[in-house]
Amino acid sequence: MAEAALRGLGSRRRSRRLFAAGMILVGGLGLVAAAAPWLTSYDPDAIVVAHYAGPLPPGGAHPLGTDTLGRDVWARLAYGARTSLFVGGLAMALSLGIGVTVGLVGGYFGGAVDTALMWLVDLVLTMPTLLLLIVLAAVLPPSLLTIPLVIGVVGWTTFARTVRGEVLSLRERDYLLAARALGASHGRIMLRHLLPGVLPGVVVLAALGMSGAIGIDAGLSYLGLGVPLPTPSWGRMVSEVQTYFAVAPWLVVLPGVAVSLAVIGFNLVGYGLIDLLGERRG
Amino acid sequence: MMALLGYLIRRVFRAITTLLGTTLILFVLVRVVPANPAVSIAGPKADPETLAAIRKDLGLDDPLAVQYGRYLERLVHGDLGRSYLTGRRVTEAIGERLPATAKLGLTALAVGFFLGLLIGIVTAARQGSAADIGVLIATLVGLSIPTFWLGNVLIYFFGYRLRWLPLGGAGALRHLVLPAATLAIVELFFYARFVHTNVGGTLASDYIRTARAKGVPPLRLYFVHALRNALIPVVTLLGLDVAALMSGVTLTETVFNWPGLGRLAVQSVFQLDIPVLAGTVLFSAALVLVANLVVDLLYGVIDPRVRHG
Amino acid sequence: MRAGLLAACVLLAACAVPLDPPPSGPPARPDEVPRPGGTLRLGAAEDVHTLDPAIGYDTGSWAFEQMLFNTLVDYDEGTTIVPELAESWEVSPDGLHFAFTLRSGVRFSSGRALAAADVKYSLERLLRPALHSPGAEFFAGLAGVDEYVHGRSPEVRGITTPAANRVEFALAAVDPLFLHKLAMPFASVVDREAVERVGDLGFRRQPVGSGAFVLAEWVEGQRMRLARNPLYFRSGLPYLDGIEVTVGLSDQLGWFKYQRGEIDISGVPSAEFARVVADARYQPLLLERTTLRTQYLGLNCALPPFDQAAVRQAMNMAVNKQRLLDLIDGRGVVATTILPPDMPGYDSSTLSYPFDPAGARARLEAAGLGHGFATTLWASRDEGSMRLGQSLQQDLRAIGVELALKPVDFPTLIEAVRHPGMAPLFLLGWEADFPDPSNFLIVLLHSRSRGTNNNAFYANPEVDRLLDEAEPLLEPGRRLPLFHDAEVMIMRDAPWVPLFHPVGFAIRHPRVRNYQLHPLRPSRVETVWLAG
Provide DSSP, C72-94: SEEE-SSS-EEESSEEEEEE-TT
Residue C450 and residue C326 in one domain:
yes
CA–CA min distance C386, chain B (Å): 17
Report helix, strand and coil shares of chain A as percent, to nearest 5. 75, 0, 25
Of C160, C195, C230, the last residue of a domain is C195
Q: By the 8 A CB rule, do C16 and A241 touch?
A: no
For C323-341, write each residue's pLDDT tens digit.
Answer: 999 999 999 999 999 999 9
For A114-139, write each residue's pLDDT tens digit.
Answer: 888 888 888 887 776 767 777 776 67
Nearest CA in chain B to C409: B270
B 56-95 residues with CB below 8 A of A? none
What ipTM does the predicted assembly reach? 0.80
CA A274 – CA B201 distance, rounded (Å):
12
Specify if C271 maps to a domain: no
Nearest CA in chain C to A253: C12
Q: Beta strands C496-508 and C265-266: pairing type?
A: antiparallel
Confirm or reject contact between B190 and chain A (CB < 8 A). yes
Look at residue B296 and tell me whether its pLDDT is greater than 80: no
CB pairs under 8 A between A and C: 111
Specify if C225 maps to a domain: no
Chain A neighbours, 3+ Cβ pairs < 8 A: B, C
CA B101 – CA A183 distance, rounded (Å):
53
pLDDT of res. A208: 64
Element of type H or E holding A164: helix A157-171
C88: domain range? 69-195
The model's confidence at residue A8, banded by pLDDT at 50, 70 and 90, is very low
What residue type is assigned to position A182 of the chain?
L
Give the mutation candidate from B26, B140, B282 for the A interface (greatest A CB count, under 10 A): B140
User: Mean pLDDT over all residues of chain A?
Assistant: 79
Q: For A180-217, b where at least 16 C-beta lie within 10 A, e where not — what string?
A: eeeeeeeeebbeebbbbbbbbbbbbbbbbbbbbbbbbb
Domains and CATH numbers, chain A: 72-281 (1.10.3720.10)
Specify if C490 maps to a domain: yes
Residue C182 and residue C299 in one domain:
no
- Kindly give the residue spans of alpha helices, DSSP state H, lying in chain B: 2-32, 37-42, 48-58, 64-76, 90-125, 130-144, 147-154, 173-203, 206-213, 218-220, 227-256, 261-271, 274-302
Look at residue C442 and tell me whether its pLDDT is greater than 80: yes
CA B190 – CA B261 distance, rounded (Å):
24
Lowest mean per-residue pLDDT among B115-124, C101-110, C363-372: B115-124
Look at residue A37 and tell me whether its pLDDT is greater than 50: yes
Specify if C390 maps to a domain: yes
Look at residue C386 and tell me whether its pLDDT is greater than 70: yes
pLDDT of res. B309: 41
Specify if C128 maps to a domain: yes
Higher pLDDT, A244 or C361: C361
Specify if C111 maps to a domain: yes
Give the mutation candidate from A19, A113, A126 for the B interface (greatest B CB count, under 10 A): A126
- The residue among C501, C118, C481 whose CA lies nearest residue C291 is C501
The model's confidence at residue B78, banded by pLDDT at 50, 70 and 90, is confident
Residue C308 and residue C174 in one domain:
no
- The residue among C43, C338, C63 whose CA lies nearest residue C213 is C63
**CATH at C456:** 3.10.105.10
> Which residues make beta-bridge pairs with C170?
C97
What residue type is assigned to position C513 of the chain?
R
CA B256 – CA B252 distance, rounded (Å):
6
User: DSSP letters along C353-412, please?
Assistant: ----HHHHHHHHHHTT-TT-EEEEEEEESSHHHHHHHHHHHHHHHTTTEEEEEEEE-HHH
For B35-74, write each residue's pLDDT tens digit.
Answer: 777 877 787 778 888 888 888 888 888 888 888 888 888 8
Number of C-beta neighbours around residue A41 at 10 A = 9
The model's confidence at residue C322, banded by pLDDT at 50, 70 and 90, is very high
CA C296 – CA C501 distance, rounded (Å):
9
Q: Which of C137, C220, C246 has the CB atom closest to B47's CB atom? A: C137
pLDDT of res. C400: 94
Q: By the 8 A CB rule, do A56 and A73 touch?
A: no
Residue C367 and residue C489 in one domain:
yes
pLDDT of res. C69: 97
**CATH at C165:** 3.90.76.10
| CATH level 2 (architecture), domain B97-302 | Orthogonal Bundle (1.10)
User: Mean pLDDT over all residues of chain B?
Assistant: 80
For A83-115, write each residue's pLDDT tens digit.
Answer: 888 888 888 889 889 999 998 888 888 888 888
Per the CB < 8 Å rule, is A125 touching B292?
yes
pLDDT of res. C312: 96
Higher pLDDT, B294 or C453: C453
pLDDT of res. B262: 86
Q: For B54-76, b where at least 16 C-beta lie within 10 A, e where not — what string?
A: bbeebebeeeeeebbeebeeebe
In this prediction, residues C95-117 reach a mean pLDDT of 95
Of C133, C161, C195, the last residue of a domain is C195
| Cα separation values, B194 from A9, A186, A259, B118, B123, Å | 14, 29, 21, 11, 11
Q: How many domains does chain C have?
A: 2
Chain B neighbours, 3+ Cβ pairs < 8 A: A, C
Higher pLDDT, B44 or A5: B44
Q: Which of C6, C408, C416 has the CB atom closest to A58's CB atom? A: C6
For C217-263, write each residue's pLDDT tens digit.
Answer: 998 888 999 999 999 999 999 999 999 999 988 888 899 999 999 99
In this prediction, residues B173-197 reach a mean pLDDT of 84
Angle of CA points A68, C17, B142, to nearest 5°: 75
Look at residue A280 and tell me whether its pLDDT is greater than 60: no
Phi/psi of residue C489, nearest 5 degrees: -65, -40
Confirm or reject contact between B142 and chain C (CB < 8 A). no
Q: For C165-200, b where at least 16 C-beta lie within 10 A, e where not — what string?
A: bebbbbbeeebbbbbbbbbbbbbbbbbbebbeeeeb
For A136-146, write each residue's pLDDT tens digit.
Answer: 766 777 788 88
Phi/psi of residue A53, nearest 5 degrees: -145, 55
Specify if C266 maps to a domain: no
What residue type is assigned to position C265 of the chain?
I
Q: By the 8 A CB rule, do A219 and A239 touch?
A: yes
Specify if C221 maps to a domain: no
Higher pLDDT, A18 or C223: C223
